[in-house]
């Protein structure tokens, strides 16, 4: 027990926040927190700060080259739901490499920023003239997230069907 390099509470909190309390497994992405139906002041939490390389010698993906400090650093943590946390450590972690988990983590944090952080993320600015003409579904410029249309932006559309100069989807 005392030989485990556990993450400090501050690292766990930052990890949870960065992951938006959503499991970092791209095939799972379940929300790990819910309100209790029975008690207004309670919540149900099934998130887990998992070690990418094990907290102790006999654990999955143990990396002897890391110092104790590195092992309990946020860089060695990945946010998962309880189910995925258990899954990655089965078979002594043989099915999930440290590299793969690092990729999950990086991609997940990116995915949260790009898809969920509509107000805090980078907002696309649109300027200039966007023209579209044709038949069917035609757009001069398609934007898939929040966008700010700058003054003076011109959108011209001519044709038959769903034609738009600037299309925000």
- By CB under 5 A, residue 28 contacts Zn ion: yes
Tell me how far, at minimum, the Cβ of 122 lies from Zn ion, in Å: 27
Of 7-15, 75-83, 96-104, 140-148: span binding Zn ion (CB under 5 A):
75-83
Of 28-36, 49-57, 69-77, 138-146: span binding Zn ion (CB under 5 A):
28-36
- By CB under 5 A, residue 78 contacts Zn ion: no
State the chain's maximal CA–CA distance in angstroms. 72
Nearer to Zn ion by C-beta: 23 or 141?
23
Q: Residue count at the site for Zn ion (CB under 5 A)?
A: 5
Instruction: Give the pairing type, strands 124-126 and 47-51.
Output: unpaired
Of 26-34, 110-118, 147-155, 159-167: span binding Zn ion (CB under 5 A):
26-34
Q: How far apart are CA 108 and CA 31, in angstroms?
A: 13
Structure tokens at 131: 């023209």
CB 160 within 8 A of CB 153: no
- By CB under 5 A, residue 23 contacts Zn ion: yes
CB 49 within 8 A of CB 12: yes
- By CB under 5 A, residue 81 contacts Zn ion: yes
Structure tokens at 9: 């509470």
Place of tokens 């739901």: 81
Place of tokens 């943590």: 77
Q: How far apart are CA 164 and CA 153, in angstroms?
A: 13
Nearer to Zn ion by C-beta: 30 or 126?
30
- By CB under 5 A, residue 50 contacts Zn ion: no
Note the residues at the interface with Zn ion (CB under 5 A). Answer: 23, 25, 28, 81, 84
């Amino acid at each position: 027990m005392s030989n485990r390099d556990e993450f400090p509470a501050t690292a766990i909190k930052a990890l949870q926040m960065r992951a938006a309390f959503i499991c970092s497994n791209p095939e799972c992405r379940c929300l790990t927190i819910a309100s209790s139906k029975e008690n207004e002041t309670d919540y149900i939490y099934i998130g887990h700060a998992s070690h990418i390389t094990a907290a102790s010698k006999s654990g999955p993906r143990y990396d002897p080259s890391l110092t104790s400090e590195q092992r309990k650093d946020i860089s060695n943590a990945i946010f998962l739901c309880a189910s995925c946390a258990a899954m990655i450590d089965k078979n002594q972690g043989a099915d999930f490499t440290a590299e793969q988990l690092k990729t999950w983590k990086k991609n997940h944090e990116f995915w949260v920023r790009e898809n969920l952080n509509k107000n805090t993320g980078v907002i696309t600015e649109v300027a200039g003239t966007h023209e579209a003409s044709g038949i069917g579904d035609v757009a001069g410029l398609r934007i898939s997230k929040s966008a700010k249309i700058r003054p003076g932006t011109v959108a011209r559309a001519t044709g038959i069907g769903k034609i738009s100069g600037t299309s925000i989807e």
